[in-house]
Amino acid sequence: MTDPQEPAPPGKTSAPEEPVSGRAASRSRRARALLPDLTPWRHSRDFRLMWLAGVVTNFGSFLTFVALPVQLKDLTGSAAAVGAVGAVELVPLVVFGLYGGALADAVDRKLLITATEAAQGLLAAVLLADTLLPHPMVWPLYVVAALSSALTGLQRPALDAIVQRIVPRDQLAAAAALNGLRWQVGAIAGPSVAGLVIAWAGTGWAYGLDTATFAFSVACGLMLRPSPASHDAPRPSLRSIAEGARYAWSRKELLGTYAIDLAAMFFAYPAAVFPFLADEIGAPWSLGFMYAAGSVGSLVVGVTSGWTSRVRRHGRMVVLAAAGWGIAMALAGWAGSVWSVLLFLGVAGGCDMVSGIGRATMWNQIVPEGLRGRLAGIELLSYSLGPQLGQVRSGGVAAVTDARVSVWSGGLACTAAVGLLAAGLPALLAYTAADPAGPSARPGAPDPAERAGTG
């Protein structure tokens, strides 16, 4: 070994020792590389407005998400009555999700987003008014739940479709990570605050705060720049919806993202059995932590998501993350201590966040502008139906076995299904992001496949 103080042997050069200040700067750069990429926030005024509106309105919506079943329980004392909320929400979400996708391609997306946001605020006000009655009624809770689900179906495709217009192509992964982070903040803070508000002040205050958050988000929506439909956009119809479905079927890498997400949620979304799992491991006090653990894991990924902007193989990213979700769920079912269960649920949530970033990036890179709304409607079904059906699967398996078996068997089935889908759809694993400096790198630029007419 050469002494660092001696001259280097002939023909060799000795690398100068990095100064302490240089090493500190290098560590600082590596640390910053893990932080979320804020480029979309800094460069796009409309993205900032939508992000701020989303943080506030998601927080308020989670207040109502907790308050409504609590009020139903207080009014009826029936678990079946509370569970029926999911049933009345499902059909409107499916029907209006598909129609909302076609509508997002045919009208100004800014107007559609703002109008549905204002309507959601009115529904929150209806819940507040019902709560203030001397004898609150039950039926308005179901009507509001169904109408709110329909409005979500109308709005969400436009929210997803507008991102590609306001964020350059090379910033889509960063935008997806920031949007996921926005949702996780609401998913953690909203229920936590809701529990305190309801316990100390009642459900009326939760509904009132939710109404106020919608007022803020509508104000932000009105400040967005117009986002009109193209002059040749088709009118919303079954034919236009079918056109979007045919495009999705023709792009196997896109089809793979839908199928992977459906499989992961159907087999390994065990939230319905968490109350039973908490009892089986002798820790009923941990139920709330079980519901929050996944969101905490997602939040950790969100605040360290800078690396996702440098990923190019997004198809492989989706497959590996979905398989990781299944493995983590299986480990949660096998775990013996409550802290191990919570750890693996958190890991699962982190994997889900990674998968979501990959899927959102692929959708925004692949789908042509003229079909973006309709494909967002199909996407809405892929990530909404999976958890609903997963609740049924996990509850059914737990009913004939137990909660642990339901959780670990679903995780293993998820991992196997992801492997089979990846093998059957090689285009998904092979997908690589296009050169961000190419002609489609500008926000709103047409997709090269769309210009070529190849779909």
Given a cut of 80, whether residue 256 has pLDDT beyond it is: yes
**CB of 36 within 8 A of CB of 181?**
yes
> What pLDDT is stored for residue 51 in this prediction?
92
What is the H or E stretch that residue 52 is in? Answer: helix 45-76
Q: Are 198 and 142 in contact (CB under 8 A)?
A: no
Tell which residue, 69, 206, 219, 221, has the closest CA to residue 159.
221
- Report the Cα–Cα distance between both ends of the chain, in Å, rounded: 61
Sequence letter at residue 243: E
Encoded tokens for 383: 């990530």
Tokens linked to 392: 């049924």
Q: 3-class DSSP state for residue 192?
A: helix
Tell which residue, 420, 98, 412, 408, has the closest CA to residue 260. Answer: 420
Q: Which of 362-366, 404-408, 419-423, 446-450 has the lowest mean pLDDT?
A: 446-450
* Nearest partner of 86 among 105, 68, 59, 102, judged by Cα: 68
The answer to whether 120 touches 200, Cβ cutoff 8 Å, is no
Which position has the higher pLDDT, 23 or 316?
316
Cβ pair 248, 258 in contact under 8 A: yes
Give the pLDDT band of residue 174 (cuts 50, 70, 90). confident
Q: What is the pLDDT of residues 132-141, one digit of tens each?
A: 999 999 999 9
Question: Residue 428: CB partners within 8 Å, gap ≥ 6?
Answer: 252, 253, 256, 257, 260, 315, 318, 319, 421, 422
Whether the pLDDT of residue 9 is over 50: the answer is: no
Pick the more confident residue, 31 or 80. 80
Residue 100 token pair: 């909302």
Residue 133: exposure state from Cβ atoms within 10 A (0-12, 13-18, ≥19): exposed
Distance in angstroms (rounded) separating the CA atoms of residues 354 and 177: 8
DSSP code at position 105:
T
Query: Is the pLDDT reported for residue 151 higher than 90?
Result: yes
Cα atoms found within 13 Å of the Cα of residue 259, Cβ hemisphere only: 23
Alpha helices in 281-336 (DSSP H): 287-303, 314-334
Q: What is the pLDDT of residues 299-343, one digit of tens each?
A: 888 888 778 778 888 999 999 999 999 999 999 999 988 999 999
Residue found by looking up tokens 């009555």 in the block: 81
Highest mean pLDDT among 4-8, 47-51, 199-203, 294-298: 47-51
Q: Residue 213 to residues 21, 64, 201, 207: CA-CA distances in angstroms?
A: 46, 11, 18, 10
pLDDT > 60? residue 3: no
